[in-house]
Structures are given as structure tokens and as C-alpha cells.
Amino acid sequence: MANSKYEYVKSFEVEDEVMFPNLIVVCINGRNFSRFSQLHHLEKPYDLNALKLMNSCAVSVLEEYADVVLAYGFSDEYTFVFNKSSKFYQRRASKVLSIITSFFSSMFVTKWSDFFPQKELHYAPSFQGHVISCATIQVLQSYLLWRQNICHVNNQYDQCFWRLVKRGKTETEVRNLLKVAEKSNLNERLFHEFNINYNTLEEIYRQGSCVLKTMVEDIVKYADNGAPVRRRRRKIITVHKKKVASTRFWNEQTILLKELGGFTEEIDNVKSEYVHSFEFDSKLMPYTWIVVRLDGCHFHRFSEIHEFVKPNDERALNLMSSCAMAVLEEFRQDIVFAYGVSDEYSFILKRTTDLYQRRASKIISAIVSFFTSTYVIRWKDYFSNRMLKYPPSFDGRAVCYPSTEILRDYLSWRQVDCHINNQYNTCFWKLVASGKSKREAQQSLKGAQLQAKIEELAIDYNKLPIMFRQGSSVFWDRVDNVLIHPENGKSSECYGKVIVEHIDIIGSAFWLEHPGILDEKQ
């Protein structure tokens, strides 16, 4: 990061480390998935292809992140369990949550056509989530039992609900009808009214899906005499077991025993309040500006593999801004401004926002997830001749700033950082283009005055695109649309659109021209 007088704003960031020996558990679930499934005409109560898509994304998470050893999911929800010694991104809850949610979202969009080849994505799917800090292996056991019980109860209800709707009743009528129904009666209703034995429904509906790593014997080669040479290796499997929290199932899994520990006794019931008490979540301070900053994960590698133009790729920057615009439109009641540079974007939520009751985990995961999905969907709009070779992901954090003055200093810090980093990168890639190695270019710039180096390299810095030098500001542009009514005279109504500008946000001119953006009362 560049040094500037604004760097003091970093002191407002709060570390949210999940301390050892707590187990890290990440739970994500679909955001607005009722609307999403309706828009894409998914089968009710559950679309088998949608469940298989969710399972495939969970498998990809276990393949991508070695620290994740178990996942359990049903409907539009998935839980990921990290090994007990995990130091994944140094155990920061917001970073762990946002990366898993972002990668899952990215995979969901990427794999969509594999499971729905005839259905185009009309709306960017997104997920929200939270972290559970399991103090003991018994807490994890209780959590898994609770979620599988919820899977069973929800499936009973949904199987009855949607069959009654298909028969002709309205959703309100069915809701009122089932409100007083006991759980046992749901099975009876399915049998007597629809001739369905609940226990014969597919296991994936009744029991959910468990994705885990196991050991298998595999043929790795053949000896000279033709005999197979076998070795044990890890393999990711998906199973639909009746009791994933039972000692019998758990203690048969050698990898789970090694990397998480064993269950010592059976449990039959668990109160949700008990599990909720381990949720690693906090409400952000009321009446403060909330900034959610997301950063690309390993984007140096991502940009190299996708052959981004150096030091700045205009297409990549415009894609980032396009995603930021989509975020402002999606969260139009809460996000008032965004500033982006390179592979990062900062989103400003109004002081009075009550989005997700100001729960940090929900806000971070929802914004990062929606941004990621949009990035994958819109990739082809900016890189029409370049296939997306692997799914991108982003991490995020949320920080509260108590005053508008400090918030503006935060934005100034980011724009100063943009300017200095762009000076450095412009010099660096100029040196590389002249024949120096990357190591030689780094050594040449070490401790150098960048302005002097720019002059030495004959770079006309001020003629570089302003987007490279000042970053991108995204905000709602208010326009007065005057309507004249013959009887009532003149009346005006206000409407707006999201725009991107490349401007100085350190000085006061922009903020004086747009006083409504950081209006203290909103």
C-alpha cells in the first residue's frame, strides 16, 4: 500500500480471527432464491438438476481448498467444515466467509450450462452466509444433526405444499392449511392424498448431500508383467446418508477422524439456540458509514493466465466497474457510492442502512457473491474472444467509519493509492518492455522517486487515460424530469441512473456538486 496522510483510516479495521482450537464452519444459502427459481422456471418443490449443480459446486470447493474436508447441503444451502489445524487466510472470519461464498458463486454461474443447457441465466445468483466457531467436535456434531433435521422437516412440508398448489389451491390457502398440521400428518397426507410413501422419495431430498474426502485404492500404473500397481489416494465423494452426525457414519471416515476428531456418543435432539450461540457474527455499529471493500484473490495469476494488458487492461477495469454498477442497482436502497481501482472496489453503505440488520457477515457475503456472479456472467461482454479459463473469486471486509470526514479520508486514501501504484506499475512495465527482467525492474525502482523515474523513462504520465490515474467512481446520478400537466400546471419528478466517472474525489468540488451522495440524514 502507498504511504499517505490518509493511512490512519486503516486503524478502524477490526480483526475477526476465529481463535484456536475452534473449528471453522462456513454456512451459505441462496439469496432471493425463491425469485431466482421462479425466474428460471425451476421445478417445485426441488429441482433435481439444481441440487446436483449445488453438489457439483461443493465438490469444486473441496477440490480448490485443501483445508475444507467436509460439506453438507440441501435445497439452496451448503455448509463447509475446515480441518482443525486450518490457518486458511489466518482464520479471519470475514475473509474465509467471503472467499468461500465468492468461489461457490463463481462456480455456480460457470457450471450452470452443464446442468441447464436450455436455460440462460437471466439474473445473477448470489449467496449470503455466516461463520460458526465450533468450540468442540460435539458442537459440530450438534450443528450437523440440526441442519439434517431441518432438511427433513422442510422437505416434508415442501412436498405437501407444492403438490397441493399444483392441485389448484392458492399458496395462501395451502399455507393456512398446513399451519396447524403436525409433522406426522404430513407423511399421512402425502400417502392418502397423493399415494406417496415419503420414505421412498429420493434420498437427496430427504437426507441432503454430504461431500467429503475419503481414501480409496486406485490403479496408478501397470508393472512390466501387466500386474496393476495400486496406491491409496484421497478422493472426494458425495453421499446421501440418513444420519451424518451419527458415530457410526462419522467414525468410518478415517480422514474426518484425523482432521476433525471423532464423535464419542450419539445425540438425538439439539436446540437451535445452542448452535446459534456459536455463530461468529457481529452487528456493525449503528449510525456509522459502512464500507465493504472487496479484492480479487490471486489476481496476479488470474491476469497473467487471461493475458491482461499491462500495466492496465481497459477491458478488465470496465468489467469491474460494470459489476459495481450492478451492485448499486441491486442494493439501491443501501449503497450510495463505490470507488474502484485495479481488482478492488469499495462500496459505501449509507449511515442509516439496516441491511441485514447490519450483520457484517450477511452484508459482506451478499455483496461479494453478487459481484462475483455478475463478473462471470458479464465476462464475455468485455472479453468476447477470450474464454474464462477458471472462475475468479474475491474476498471482502466491512469497516465502520464514524464521520463523513473520516469516510472521505478513506476514499482519498484509496485514490492516492491508485495514483502511486499506477505510477509504479507504469514505470515497472516500461522497464520490462525495454528488455529488463521483472526482478531487474523491481531493483531499479526500489527506493526510487517515481516522478523522477517517470521523467527519466520519458513517460508522458498526464496523457495516460484518466481511469488509470484516478480510478473509477460509481454513483447514482439524479436527474430532474419535468412533466407539464395541462390542468395542474408544472410538476417535476426525480429519477436516477447509475453512472461511472473518473474524477478527483480528494478535493471538495465533486462532493459539493453531489451533496446527496454523503447526505448525513440518509
pLDDT tens column, 414-459:
999 999 999 999 999 999 998 999 898 888 888 778 888 888 888 8
* Mean pLDDT value across residues 158-172: 91
By percentage, how much of the chain surpasses pLDDT 70? Answer: 95
What is the band of 489 on the pLDDT scale with cuts at 50, 70, 90?
low
pLDDT at 75 over 80: yes
Residue 519 banded pLDDT, cuts 50, 70, 90? confident
pLDDT digits (tens, 9 = 90+) for 184-226: 688 888 888 889 898 889 999 999 999 999 887 777 788 888 8
- Distance, in Å, from the CA atom of 124 to the CA atom of 446, rounded to the nearest integer, reads 43
Mean pLDDT of 392-414: 96
CA distance 93 to 15: 9
pLDDT recorded at residue 1? 41
Distance set, CA 508 to CA 3, 76, 443, 511, 512 (Å): 22, 46, 38, 5, 6
Q: How high is the pLDDT of residue 154?
A: 94
Label residue 495 by pLDDT band (50, 70, 90). low
Higher pLDDT, 408 or 521: 408
Distance CA 430, CA 312 (A): 12
The whole-number pLDDT of residue 490 equals 52
The pLDDT of 394-398, averaged and rounded, is: 97
β partners of residue 209 = 73
Could you tell me the pLDDT band of residue 45, with boundaries at 50, 70 and 90? very high
Does pLDDT of 112 surpass 90?
yes
* Element (DSSP H or E) covering residue 161: helix 137-167
Mapped onto helix, strand or coil, the DSSP state of residue 260 is: coil
Q: Please state the rounded mean pLDDT for residues 81-109.
A: 96
Q: In this predicted structure, which of 32-41, 95-104, 109-118 has the lowest mean pLDDT? A: 32-41
pLDDT computed for residue 192 by the predictor: 86
d(CA 209, CA 80): 12
26 DSSP β-pair partners: 80, 131
pLDDT-above-90 percentage for the chain: 73
pLDDT given at position 256: 95
Angle at 430 between CA 429 and CA 434, to 5 degrees: 110
pLDDT at 125: 96
Check residue 187 and give its pLDDT: 84
Helix-then-strand count for the chain, H and E? 18, 13
Does 493 or 201 have the greater pLDDT score? 201
Q: What is the pLDDT of residue 283?
A: 92
Task: Give the CA count within 13 Å in the CB-facing half-sphere of 493.
Answer: 4
User: According to the model, what pLDDT value does residue 452 have?
Assistant: 86
User: In this structure, how many other beta carbons lie within 10 angstroms of the beta carbon of residue 184?
Assistant: 9
Residues 273-332 have pLDDT tens digits of 999 899 888 899 999 999 999 999 999 999 999 999 999 999 999 999 999 999 999 999
Could you give the CA distance from residue 230 to residue 207 in angstroms, rounded to a whole number? 34
Long-range contacts of 250-258 (CB under 8 A, 24+ apart): 250/141, 253/212, 253/214, 254/214, 254/215, 255/69, 255/212, 255/213, 255/214, 255/215, 256/69, 256/70, 256/212
